[in-house]
Amino acid sequence: MTTLQFKCKLLSDVILNQRAATEGNQESLTFIPGNSFLGIVAKDYMSFPIKEQTEIFHSGHVRFGDAHPASKDAKTRSLHIPASLFYPKLKSLGEESYIHHFYSRSDDKNGTKGQPQQLKQCREGYYEFEGNKANAVECLKSFAIKSAYDRTLRKSKDSQMFGYEGLEKGSEFYFSVEIDDEALAPVIEEKLIGRKHVGRSKTAQYGLIEITKASFQEIPSAASQFSINGNSYITVYADGRLIFLDETGTPTFQPTAQMLGLNGEIDWEKSQIRTFQYAPWNGKRQTRDADRVGIEKGSVFVVKLHEPPTGSQLPSYVGNYKNEGFGKVIYGWNLLQKAGENGQTNLCLSQKTKAQATETRALEGTPLLAFLARKKHKSSSSVYIYEQVNHFVKMYKPLFSQGKFSAQWGAIRSIALQRATMNEILLELFDKKELQKREPSPTDPRTEVIESIGYITHGIKAKDWKAKQRDRILREFIEQMGNNQEYGDLSQRALVNLASEMAKKQQSNADNKI
């Protein structure tokens, strides 16, 4: 067996809804499910030989794991916070925490007047764990209001407003793919690497990602056990969502220890299980399949062992739909198998350094305030873009009014909308080159020459752009907006605004002449 590791960077917002409903509050997943990456490879399904089709897509011998959010330059794949971790109300997880299966409420005297504390379950968040240290990873989300479009009247439809919540552009995720037959690794790697699309509204402005090879650490499974009242136990942590079918093929929320690959019985009182339900979308048939129900990511089973397992007996995936990333588990995670007095942990959460802290400290603390802080930052960058665009128009509008550049600006806007970074925009507009064949001449015997094929540097309008250094002026504007130290790369948004504004100005001049 071989394991391929990848990094997934979002080049645009990505929409992955938790529910199939089309009305009400639509929340986004906080991870990218493995079936999204399976779908990327399955897009070329008919190009595979029949044997490889069966092996990759139907046998479960190739397992596309879920992609979890990662901090910048992370060395470890993050995990969803275990549901067995609890912390006292009015405190934070970093201050004090307890492991449920080691904790006894009757022995807890740390509350008011010697009473038991009121504990809260950890349900949200991803952390990069290393021993007893954990680095919180924020999963950024965006929200946009949209309107349905009336093609007949060429306007927005009345009473057809809706909202999109998605994973925010620029976020990075780590995932792995397990392959039983190593010979399949190169072809799967080739199909995954590069720019792809996932999620909803892929034909609009959403869903663009870039997948590259990566190297990171993951928490390994272990056959280690712990003892409670003389009985041997082991924990099974749900790294991915789990789906189990009973002997009749019916989904069940109560798997057996045998379904988890262990000889024993599940202690449900000590376990902490959360569930989910969703209807998968079948792109080929353009409809939804039957609902799937299962056990949510982060759940923890505590299994009372009849016979201790060995490391070689522990599978990395259990249950059904393994090829889509369901069923990934971690056995004997050290964090969940050791605790201090009455289940108290020594978990240490890393704090943000001063260099990472923002100036808007008042806007930290809750998801709402964090959302407002991001909106404020985006609003400030928009004001800066408008100022720079207006300055450009005021300075250079006469320079571009001497030729017919209106159609040129429209094409430039389209190019900017399809390119995510400054370097990509500059390549498409100025720096793109191509090796072209030519007939040799007496003065030049070359049969091949490298010619520029950038949108602005070739074609019938290339001379107009070169005249009076129009091309240099535009390039300097793009580089100025792309290398902004305060807001980052603003080249795409700035160029889209500039192209729209210049096209309108020139069209207005043409109308006035008529």
Q: What is the pLDDT of residues 311-362, one digit of tens each?
A: 888 999 999 999 998 999 999 999 999 888 889 998 888 754 333 333 444 4
Predicted local confidence at residue 242, as pLDDT: 95
CA 315 to chain centre: 26
DSSP 221: P
Q: Which residue has the tokens 């990759």?
A: 56
Q: HEC states along 443-458?
A: CCCCCEEEEECCCCCC
Q: What confidence score (pLDDT) does residue 24 get?
A: 56
Which domains does the chain show, CATH number per domain? 2-77+137-213 (3.30.70), 84-122+220-349 (2.60.40.4350), 367-513 (no CATH)
Cα distances (Å, whole numbers) of residue 40 to 139, 150, 188, 206? 23, 32, 10, 16
Q: Cβ of 488: how many Cβ atoms within 10 Å?
A: 12
Give the Cα separation of 510 and 128 in Å (integer). 59
- Burial class, 278, CB count within 10 angstroms (exposed 0-12 / middle 13-18 / buried 19+): middle
| Assessment of whether the complete model's pTM goes beyond 0.95 | no
378-433 tens-digit pLDDT? 888 888 888 888 888 888 888 877 556 777 888 888 888 888 888 898 888 888 88
Phi, psi of 390 (to 5 degrees): -60, -40
The token pair at 363 is: 């806007």
Tokens of 22: 């089309």
pLDDT mean by block of 10 residues, the chain; 514 residues: 93 83 71 92 90 90 94 90 92 88 90 87 91 87 81 82 84 94 93 91 82 93 91 95 91 93 94 91 80 93 92 89 93 91 86 38 60 80 88 83 72 86 88 81 80 82 83 89 85 88 71 54
Is the Cα dihedral 43, 218, 276, 259 positive or negative? positive
